[in-house]
Amino acid sequence: MYRNEEVEDIKKKMLICGVAFVFVLLIGLLVVLNRFRFDEASVLKELQKKETFVVLIHNGNYEKCSEALNEMGISYYLFDVSSSSYDEVLTRLHITYDVKVPAIYVIEDGEVVFNITNVSDKKTVKEFIQNNNISALLEGDE
């Protein structure tokens, strides 16, 4: 039997492309997972230090809230309800009820001062930020 050099060359190229694809996919997955884990770890750190901050609790559907917060210049942490530390965060915040997401919690000195749950539109988020003067609260903490 003879070896077809073109077929062997194609097999090598396919193997290299497959390995490269898996490598890029794993790197991308790590970046995405670390982004959310970083926020989750940061929320716990901020609570331990009794800092003032905003956290957006979500289950994947948070675009409207995120856009409104970004438009208003509010820095916030994203926190997914599927996080392993979700129950711990709720306990530290003394939240004993079922949180309807997406929800925005404003934390001052490690305690909840304002919150809004089950947010359905950007207008509601903007009114919440303005009515509670959250921008000034966050600026006063710096």
CA–CA gap between residue 35 and residue 84 (Å, rounded)? 15
Retrieve residue 110's tokens. Answer: 């490690």
**pTM tops 0.85, yes or no:** no
Q: Report the amino acid identity of residue 60.
A: G
Write the CA distances from 14 to 9, 11, 21, 22, 24, integer angstroms: 9, 5, 10, 12, 15
Helix (H, G, I), strand (E, B), or coil: what is residue 58? Answer: strand
Cα end-to-end distance, the chain, whole Å: 76
pLDDT given for residue 29 in this prediction? 73
Q: Tell me the per-residue pLDDT of 65-113, one tens digit each, with 9 for 90 and over.
A: 999 999 999 999 988 898 888 898 899 899 999 999 999 999 999 899 9
Pairing of strands 103-108, 53-58: antiparallel
